[in-house]
Copies of this chain bind each other. A is one copy, B any other.
Amino acid sequence: MPQLIVVSAPSGAGKTTICRRLVEKVGGLAYSVSYTTRKPRPKEKEGVDYFFCDRPRFDAMIEAGEFLEWAEVFGNYYGTSRQWVFKQLENGLDVLVDIEIAGARQIKNTFPEAVFIFIVPPTFEELVHRLELRGTEGESELRQRLEQARTEIEAHKMYDYLVINDDLDRAVQDLVTVVQAERLRLPKSDQFWRRFF
């Protein structure tokens, strides 16, 4: 049975890079594209990185129950299309959702059989270092992000797996292993067993 795989991380843990490489390495895994009200950054492409939309349209989608989860992050809205996800699952594909913890918590409530993976940098200091290196944030936004990261890491308990990103190749391989192992999970349905006899 196809699975919904939810990956979260504190900001700066390298989540998106790892997820992209995971999808390249594992067949049959569809990478969910979020809707967002955030302005595109340079190089970001519509329908590849995000579906970019304005706030009224996003609000209308919330109203219509079109999101599997949605969240506000630093004043911008992000959401995962329920219809898109279920279409992939119906087509037999696993779906990878790369989202903030607030969104993961919503999925945990409505779709507890999903697989929850948490990526962390090897130490919190390393996280600070990476955020500073990135240098796209001002001082106060950095402090806000760090505070959020601390809160997020404390929210880890709903996750099934922990991947430590101290080496990118190793972290990608760890996610490959988790996805492959989850494909060996005993089917909850009796379908397999009926076929067996």
Which residues of A are interface residues toward B (Cβ below 8 A)? Answer: 118, 120, 123-124, 150, 153-154, 156-157, 159-163, 174, 177-178, 180-182, 184-187, 192-193, 196-197
A153/B186 contact (C-beta < 8 A), A177-B181, A180-B177, A181-B178 known = no
Protomer copies: 2
Which among B161, B182, B197 is the interface contact of A124 at CB below 8 angstroms? B197
A186/B174 contact (C-beta < 8 A), A124-B197, A196-B153, A197-B124 known = no
A181 CB to closest chain B CB (Å) equals 3
> Cβ of A177: which chain B residues have Cβ within 8 Å of it?
177, 180-181, 184
B184 and A178 contacting across the interface, CB-CB below 8 Å: yes
A184 and B174 contacting across the interface, CB-CB below 8 Å: yes
Which chain B residue shows the least CB distance to A174? B184
B162 and A187 contacting across the interface, CB-CB below 8 Å: yes
Which chain B residue shows the least CB distance to A161? B184
A–B complex contacts, Cβ < 8 Å, 22 sampled: A118-B186, A120-B196, A123-B196, A124-B197, A153-B193, A156-B186, A156-B193, A159-B186, A160-B185, A160-B186, A161-B181, A161-B185, A162-B184, A162-B185, A162-B186, A162-B187, A162-B192, A174-B180, A177-B177, A177-B184, A178-B181, A181-B181
Q: In the complex, A187 Cα to B156 Cα: how many Å?
A: 10
Q: In the complex, A159 Cα to B174 Cα: how many Å?
A: 23
B124 and A196 contacting across the interface, CB-CB below 8 Å: yes
> Cβ of A161: which chain B residues have Cβ within 8 Å of it?
181, 184-186
> Cβ of A184: which chain B residues have Cβ within 8 Å of it?
161-163, 174, 177-178
